[in-house]
């Protein structure tokens, strides 16, 4: 099995175990009465015009790079740096086996910031949507290549019903065509192939160019300097999700400033590993 298939199978087993500890009905009851505020969606609804918008990610590890340099840093310090650097939202990677994430990180992040917070994971069951809401997420990532069309429609509808925005991720033209009928979500274009973990920004740009301009697009993965940002600025995108670069930096706030403001010198891509970086 490739990486994506492996993670999906692992997640199905994990969710099955979770349901035995806490039923779906009990979990759902914790989200009753929640209303949708669109705080995450609204932050990225319009194409970039007056500045770069970045979703700064908390990612303790990745399959290829191992443990992040800032994995042991207090979460409050990381979030403070992200806020100081100008992040518009946070992403919290909660997958445990390959990224060493947790729902506790999500819960704590929501307490520590007023920024909108995304739960980033390989969601395979509607149970995880209620879980995301219970732990404070404003939005969830859904990966089109990990779900069939029926699941995508059902999960998006469920997320909306409990007040979650959706970042609906695609990697290829084919996976975009699978979700182009879905309305009201942000579209994430991942430059990383989740089967091989290879990164290709130019392939991502090819996908972006077939997406209607009125559809908000977030570029995920592969952003390591201002030049990577500028590659997409004529394509009507709405923001960028950045993780490994920030989590391996000694000064995440300054890194964010260099990405956001063209007056700063470009970051040096010396530590860039385009074939595998997650």
Report the chain (278 residues): mean pLDDT per 10 consecutive residues. Answer: 92 94 85 72 90 95 83 92 97 95 96 97 96 95 96 96 96 94 96 83 93 95 92 94 93 95 53 33
Residue 34's pLDDT is what? 58
- Three-state secondary structure of the chain: CCHHHHHHHHHHHHHHHHHHHCCHHHHHHCCCCCCCCCHHHHHCCCCCCCCCCEEEEECCEECCCEECCCCCCCHHHHHHHHHHHCCCEEEEECCCCCCCCCHHHHHHHHHHCCCCEEEECCCCCCHHHHHHHHCCCCEEEEEHHHCCHHHHHHHHHHHHHCCCEEEEEECCHHHHHHHCCCCCCEEEEECECCCCCCECHHHHHHHHCCCCCCCCEEEECCCCCHHHHHCCCCCCCCEEEECHHHHCCCCHHHHHHHHHCCCCCCCCCCCCCCCCCC
The catalytic residue positions are 57, 59, 120, 169, 190, 220-221
pLDDT at 274: 31
pLDDT at 36: 61
CATH assignment, 3-260: 3.20.20.70
Q: What is the pTM of this model?
A: 0.91
Confirm if 66 and 94 have CB atoms less than 8 A apart.
no
Task: State the pLDDT at residue 44.
Answer: 96
């Amino acid at each position: 099995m490739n990486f994506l298939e492996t993670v999906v199978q692992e997640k199905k087993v994990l969710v099955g175990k979770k349901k035995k500890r806490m039923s779906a009905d009990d979990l759902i009851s914790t989200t009753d009465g929640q209303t949708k505020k669109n705080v995450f969606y609204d932050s990225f609804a319009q194409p970039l015009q007056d500045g770069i918008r970045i979703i700064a990610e908390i990612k303790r590890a990745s399959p290829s790079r191992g443990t992040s340099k800032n994995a042991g840093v207090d979460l409050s310090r990381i979030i403070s740096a992200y806020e100081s650097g100008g992040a518009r939202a946070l992403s919290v990677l909660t997958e445990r086996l390959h990224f060493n994430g947790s729902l506790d990180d999500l819960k704590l992040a929501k307490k520590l910031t007023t920024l909108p917070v995304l739960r980033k994971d390989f969601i395979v069951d509607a149970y995880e949507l209620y879980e995301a809401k219970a732990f404070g997420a404003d939005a969830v990532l859904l990966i089109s290549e990990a779900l069939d069309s029926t699941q995508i429609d059902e999960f998006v509808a469920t997320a909306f019903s409990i007040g979650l925005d959706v970042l609906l991720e695609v990697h290829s033209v084919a996976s975009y065509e699978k979700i182009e009928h879905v309305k009201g979500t942000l579209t994430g274009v991942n430059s990383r192939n989740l089967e091989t973990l290879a990164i290709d920004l130019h392939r991502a740009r090819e996908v972006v160019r077939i997406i209607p301009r009125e559809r908000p697009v977030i570029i995920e993965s592969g952003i390591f300097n201002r030049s990577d940002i500028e590659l997409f600025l004529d394509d009507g995108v709405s923001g960028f999700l950045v993780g490994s670069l920030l989590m391996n930096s000694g000064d995440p706030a300054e890194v964010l400033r260099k990405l956001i403001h063209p007056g700063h010198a470009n970051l040096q891509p010396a530590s860039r590993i385009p074939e595998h970086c997650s």
